[in-house]
Amino acid sequence: FSVFPLWLLHIIGCVLGWVAFAVSGVYRQRFLANAALAGYSFAQVRAAVGHAGRMVAELPRLWLGAPVPVRIEGEPCVEQAWAAGRGVIFLTPHLGCFEMSAQAIATRWSAQQGPITVLYRPARQAWLAKVMETARNRPGMQAVPTTLAGVRQMIKALRRGEAVGLLPDQVPQEGEGVWATFFGRDAYTMTLPAKLAQLGDATVIITYAERLPGGRGYVVRFVPFDGTLDGDSAAQAQAINHA
């Protein structure tokens, strides 16, 4: 699958997404319930069914295959962050192709600013964990697991003025998060992004990669974090959820 063209992988993935939606009643109910919480009807978000399948099908190409087309929007806010002489924290929610965000950052800035250190949660299956460990360590990008050692590596990278990346909408381990509102519901939210920003005196930027139609590649967008990380852990987590 890693040698297949992106357009073919996305066709396969779209079919798989709709099959999963049709077969799994639990998945379908959760999908519809989450869309309603976000204020959308099914007609407005039906394309996300196919995109969930595309996300799975494109992974072999993104992890093991040749580079794919990508363009960047919002680059000035990143350049401004680097000009401040501090580390940068890229927060990438589970929106669009989050695998591509870190790769695009590494390709664009690692030669000048050093590698980006990316936090990831290892898979439960040993074979898949091994693939993820090796495939995500691409040129200009170092992947570290969600362990204390991995967090320490991220803090060190920030203090060197480098970049780190993580997905802020993952559920943290018990005792490592706080309850904060997310789309009108209380969600157990990680406190790590705010702690990293404070310990590393770093700038926070939101980023996401939009999947372009027809397998034409991706556009990675950068948005300045417009909140404040003052107050206690709950207030900080709430600011990040809002962003």
Q: What is the C-alpha to C-alpha distance for residues 143 and 146, in angstroms, rounded to an integer? A: 10
Per-residue pLDDT band at 142 (split at 50, 70, 90) = confident
* 119-139 pLDDT tens trace: 877 778 887 777 777 777 778
**What pLDDT is recorded for position 62?**
93
Per-residue pLDDT band at 173 (split at 50, 70, 90) = confident
- Please give the share of the chain, as a percent, with pLDDT higher than 90: 74
Judge whether residue 205 has pLDDT over 90.
yes
**What pLDDT is recorded for position 215?**
93
